[in-house]
């Protein structure tokens, strides 16, 4: 028989988080701080709207781009948070999670051999998606001394004639780093100068703990060259609903929707009705969850300081990214031993790129009680080293 | 949000939290938090640090009842003096002045149905200003003080990557 598998797919490495979780599953009594999804239930009024839509018999496809009602709410949301207006019909469309939007944006925009700049450590999907789109991923290694923010110089160092896209993954998973307005202004200047496009993944935008999240699309000249990606998973604790969206120039959106209509048809209808409610009446829920996350973030940072684990202060997402270099182990060794000896699971920084070596990702999408128990284990582990 | 509001937000859910931890969660100075707590107590804004107990899970029998009470307000005193006469009974856990079809909502805790019944007939109904009462027994508490008693939180998130 012929080899059934295509070479391009085989060569893609499986996610490093996956490998680690397989061990976690086998460890009895393990506490995990590994999960990357909110521990809150979707607020009831949002679930209720989903149920109500089912009761009313809203069980058909929506238009390929998504419910007009929802696209209008998305457009309103960006207007009120970023002061940028998107045409809900031509410049906004609804996807199956932010992750579909990342895939589509890359596929719609690159030709074979185009280079895509991907800052790392970051979410694990950008690189494989770029490869699947026949682009060449070019990694930018973010540095702790810059609080894992992206600098203009780092972009300039990697730009070539072939560079077409810069992926902007902030607030960042796994570091929790954010980009403030001044940071973005410096990047925008380079982007315009080098005629690049930006894929800005702002799925954690609402979870910003110092001031308000600033999107690069709010800077002059950037709306025209940015695909803004966001979704409902993190802000509204709606991971299982699989709903995200992309906003950007009509010419790009048209091509993305083309792929979307052939591959997906449309995002889940029930989820779209629920999401309308989330955007209309969900602000207080976001605020409540954000406050809880912020308490946990402060708690973890204070605990790290107490037990002697160096960590820069992250202001976004729900992760902290402490440095374990002083223990003379690789991230993988550290995490494996921590799991084996203290039954505590965190994710090695290397799962998010080679430059994550020397760091671990600790998620605080867990209750304070859970985090307290976990910190006792971490302290015991570190004191033995 | 002010520190004061934030403190109240946390302590309403967890009265056992200590000043140090409170200051960590709020990212505020410990002394400041301690002072704020003290003045919240002094001002009577924090009125107590109680424990929520689901008595139905113990062997101890408790009967709770809500009683709607209609009364005649007294000249010059309104509802306050009659409310006071009622809330002084130790078996009364709450008394609220209500809008709508009746005047006072009295929440009562007793050991047995009979005990509650006799309180209503012997003590409450016999008060001069009480016109009528309607007693409702609580059969099951699903949620109390924002806490769901019916079921425990379970982490059902599945392993997923990325």
Residues with Cβ within 8 Å of B54's Cβ and at least 6 positions away in sequence, in order, are: B141, B149
- Pull the structure tokens for residue A259: 């792929």
- Distance CA(A335)–CA(A332), nearest Å, equals 5
**Residue A99: C-alpha distances to residues A114, A128, A129, A152, A319 (Å):** 21, 12, 10, 26, 19
- Whether residue B162 lies within 8 A of chain A, CB to CB, comes out as yes
Q: What are phi and psi of A366, to 5 degrees?
A: -140, 155
Q: Which of A255, A281, A307 is the last residue of a domain?
A: A281
The reply to whether A198 and A58 lie within a common domain is yes
**Residue B26: C-alpha distances to residues A288, A320, A329, B20, B146 (Å):** 14, 17, 34, 10, 22
- Distance CA(A71)–CA(A64), nearest Å, equals 12
Give the model confidence (pLDDT) of A45-57 as tens digits.
999 999 999 999 9
State how far residue A144 is from chain B, nearest Cα, in angstroms: 23
Average pLDDT over residues A105-115: 97
Residues with Cβ within 8 Å of A164's Cβ and at least 6 positions away in sequence, in order, are: A109, A110, A114, A115, A116, A135, A196, A197
- Whether residue A37 lies within 8 A of chain B, CB to CB, comes out as yes
Average pLDDT over residues A294-314: 97
Q: What SS3 state is found at A260?
A: helix
The reply to whether A93 and A232 lie within a common domain is yes
- Exposure string of A296-329, with b = 16+ CB inside 10 Å and e = fewer, is bbbbbbbbbeeeebebbebbbbbbbbbbbeeeeb
Q: Which of A123, A291, A299 sits opposite B24 (nearest CB)?
A: A299
Of the listed ranges A1-10, A64-73, A196-205, the one predicted with least confidence? A1-10
Chain B residues within an 8 Å CB radius of A348: none
Q: Which of A228, A261, A281 is the last residue of a domain?
A: A281
The reply to whether A35 and A148 lie within a common domain is no
The reply to whether A243 and A289 lie within a common domain is no
The reply to whether A371 and A301 lie within a common domain is yes
The reply to whether A379 and A352 lie within a common domain is yes
Report the 3 state secondary structure along A38-59.
CCCCCCHHHHHHHHHHHHCCCC
Average pLDDT over residues A119-142: 97
Q: Does A1 map to a domain?
A: no
Average pLDDT over residues A331-344: 95
The reply to whether A53 and A156 lie within a common domain is yes
**pLDDT surpassing 80 at residue A373:** yes
- Pull the structure tokens for residue B78: 């309104």
What does A15-34 look like in DSSP terms, one character per residue?
PHHHHHHHHHHHSTT-EE--
Task: Give the residue among A285, A174, A166 at the shortest CA–CA distance from A222.
Answer: A166
**Are B24 and A124 a contacting pair at CB < 8 A?**
no
Chain A residues within an 8 Å CB radius of B26: 295, 298
Q: Does A2 map to a domain?
A: no
Counting one residue from chain A and one from chain B, the pairs whose CB atoms sit within 8 A come to: 35
Of the listed ranges A171-175, A235-239, A318-322, B52-56, the one predicted with least confidence? B52-56
State the CATH number of the domain containing residue A358: 3.90.1150.10
**Are A299 and B25 a contacting pair at CB < 8 A?**
yes
**Are B24 and A298 a contacting pair at CB < 8 A?**
yes
- Pull the structure tokens for residue A334: 């550290």
The reply to whether A227 and A127 lie within a common domain is yes
Q: Does A190 map to a domain?
A: yes
- Pull the structure tokens for residue A82: 């970023």
**Are B9 and A37 a contacting pair at CB < 8 A?**
no
Average pLDDT over residues A249-277: 98
- Whether residue A372 lies within 8 A of chain B, CB to CB, comes out as no
Query: A244-247 and A226-231: which strand pairing?
Result: antiparallel
Give the end-to-end CA distance of chain B in Å, rounded to a whole number: 35
Total domains present in chain A: 2
State the CATH number of the domain containing residue A193: 3.40.640.10
Global pTM reads 0.93
Q: What SS3 state is found at B134?
A: strand
- Distance CA(A220)–CA(A217), nearest Å, equals 8
Contact A215, A228 (CB under 8 A): yes
pLDDT of residue B158: 82
pLDDT of residue B9: 93
Q: Which of B21, B159, B162 sits opposite A124 (nearest CB)?
A: B162
pLDDT of residue B162: 65
Would you place residue B146 in the very low, low, confident or very high pLDDT band (cuts 50, 70, 90)? confident
**Are A21 and B159 a contacting pair at CB < 8 A?**
yes
**Structural domain range at position A271:** 44-281
Chain A residues within an 8 Å CB radius of B161: 15, 17-18, 21, 124
Please, is A195 exposed, middle or buried when counting C-beta atoms within 10 Å of its C-beta (0-12, 13-18, 19+)? exposed
- Secondary structure element (H or E) that encloses residue A305, with its range: helix A283-307
pLDDT of residue A104: 98
Q: Which of A281, A304, A328 is the last residue of a domain?
A: A281
What does A337-375 look like in DSSP terms, one character per residue?
HHHHHH-EE-EEGGGG-GGGTTBEEEE--S-HHHHHHHH
- Pull the structure tokens for residue A252: 């790009």
- Pull the structure tokens for residue A364: 């605080």
The reply to whether A203 and A320 lie within a common domain is no
Q: Which of B10, B153, B157 sits opposite A37 (nearest CB)?
A: B157
**Are A37 and B161 a contacting pair at CB < 8 A?**
no
**Are A37 and B160 a contacting pair at CB < 8 A?**
yes
- Whether residue B161 lies within 8 A of chain A, CB to CB, comes out as yes
Q: Does A55 map to a domain?
A: yes
Q: Does A198 map to a domain?
A: yes
- Whether residue A295 lies within 8 A of chain B, CB to CB, comes out as yes
Looking at residue A225, the DSSP 8-state letter turns out to be G
The reply to whether A36 and A57 lie within a common domain is no
Q: Which of B26, B155, B162 sits opposite A39 (nearest CB)?
A: B155
- Distance CA(A173)–CA(A241), nearest Å, equals 20
Average pLDDT over residues B35-55: 94
**Residue A382: C-alpha distances to residues A296, A307, A318 (Å):** 21, 8, 23
**pLDDT surpassing 80 at residue A18:** no
Our CA dihedral for A36, A39, A41, A42, rounded to 10 degrees, sits at -40
pLDDT of residue A96: 98
State how far residue B159 is from chain A, nearest Cα, in angstroms: 7
Q: Does A164 map to a domain?
A: yes
The reply to whether A121 and A258 lie within a common domain is yes
State how far residue B25 is from chain A, nearest Cα, in angstroms: 4
State how far residue A170 is from chain B, nearest Cα, in angstroms: 17
Mean pLDDT of chain B: 92
Instruction: Name B67's bridge partners.
Output: B106, B135
The reply to whether A172 and A307 lie within a common domain is no
- Whether residue B16 lies within 8 A of chain A, CB to CB, comes out as no
Other CB atoms closer than 10 Å to residue A230's CB: what's the count? 26
**Are B161 and A15 a contacting pair at CB < 8 A?**
yes
Q: Which of B25, B153, B156 to mutate to test the interface with A (most CBs of A within 10 A)?
A: B25
Residues with Cβ within 8 Å of A381's Cβ and at least 6 positions away in sequence, in order, are: A337, A338, A341, A342, A344
State how far residue B26 is from chain A, nearest Cα, in angstroms: 6
- With a pLDDT cut of 90, the percent of chain A lying above it is 93
Q: Does A316 map to a domain?
A: yes
Q: What SS3 state is found at A88?
A: coil
State how far residue B54 is from chain A, nearest Cα, in angstroms: 20
- Secondary structure element (H or E) that encloses residue B66, with its range: strand B63-71
Q: Does A368 map to a domain?
A: yes
Q: How far is Cα of residue B116 from the mean position of the Cα atoms in its chain?
A: 19
- Residue A183, Ramachandran bin (φ over 0: left; ψ between -120 and 50: alpha; else beta): alpha
């Amino acid at each position: 028989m012929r080899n059934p598998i295509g070479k391009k797919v085989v060569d893609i490495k499986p996610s490093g988080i996956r490998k680690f979780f397989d061990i976690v599953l086998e460890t009895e009594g393990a506490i995990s701080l590994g999960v990357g999804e909110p521990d809150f239930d979707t607020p009831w009024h949002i679930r209720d709207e989903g149920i109500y839509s089912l009761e009313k018999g809203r069980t058909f496809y929506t238009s390929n781009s998504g419910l007009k009602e929802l696209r209008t709410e998305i457009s309103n949301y960006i207007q009120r948070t970023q002061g940028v207006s998107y045409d809900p019909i031509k410049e906004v469309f609804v996807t199956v999670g932010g992750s579909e939007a990342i895939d589509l944006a890359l596929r719609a925009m690159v030709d074979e051999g185009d280079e895509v700049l991907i800052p790392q450590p970051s979410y694990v999907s950008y690189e494989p998606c770029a490869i699947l789109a026949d682009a060449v991923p070019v990694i930018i290694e973010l540095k702790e001394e810059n609080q894992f923010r992206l600098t203009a110089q780092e972009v300039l160092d990697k730009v070539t004639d072939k560079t077409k896209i810069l992926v902007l993954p902030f607030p960042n998973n796994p570091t929790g780093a954010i980009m403030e307005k001044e940071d973005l202004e410096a990047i925008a200047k380079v982007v315009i100068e080098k005629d690049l496009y930006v894929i800005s993944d702002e799925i954690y935008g609402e979870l910003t703990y110092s001031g308000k999240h600033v999107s690069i699309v709010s800077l002059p000249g950037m709306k025209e060259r940015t695909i803004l990606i966001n979704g409902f998973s993190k802000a509204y604790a709606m991971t299982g609903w699989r709903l995200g969206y992309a906003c950007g120039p009509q010419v790009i959106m048209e091509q993305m929707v083309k792929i979307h209509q052939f591959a997906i048809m449309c995002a889940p209808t029930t989820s779209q009705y629920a999401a309308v409610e989330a955007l209309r009446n969900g602000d207080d829920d976001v605020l409540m969850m954000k406050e809880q996350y912020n308490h946990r973030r402060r708690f973890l940072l204070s605990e790290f300081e107490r037990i002697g684990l160096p960590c820069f202060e992250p202001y976004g997402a729900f992760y902290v990214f402490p440095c374990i270099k002083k223990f003379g182990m690789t991230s993988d060794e550290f995490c494996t031993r921590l799991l084996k000896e203290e039954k505590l699971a965190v994710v090695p920084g290397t799962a998010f790129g080679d430059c994550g070596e020397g760091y671990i990702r600790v998620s605080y999408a867990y209750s304070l009680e859970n985090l307290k128990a976990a910190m006792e284990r971490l302290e015991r582990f570190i004191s033995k080293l | 949000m002010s520190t004061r509001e934030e403190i109240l937000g946390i302590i309403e859910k967890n009265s056992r939290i200590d000043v140090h931890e409170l200051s960590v969660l709020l990212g505020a100075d410990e002394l400041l938090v301690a002072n704020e707590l003290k003045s919240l107590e002094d001002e009577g804004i924090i009125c107590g640090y109680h424990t929520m107990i689901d008595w139905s899970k113990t062997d101890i029998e408790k009967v709770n009842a809500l009683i709607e009470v209609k009364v005649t307000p007294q000249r010059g005193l309104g509802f306050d003096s009659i409310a006071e006469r009622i809330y002084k009974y130790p078996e009364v856990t709450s008394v609220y002045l209500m809008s709508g079809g009746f005047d006072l909502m009295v929440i009562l805790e007793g050991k047995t149905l009979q005990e509650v019944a006799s309180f209503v007939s012997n003590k409450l109904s016999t008060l001069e200003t009480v016109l009528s009462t309607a007693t409702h027994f609580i059969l099951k508490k699903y949620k109390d003080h924002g806490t769901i008693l019916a079921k425990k939180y379970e982490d059902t998130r599945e392993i997923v990557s990325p």
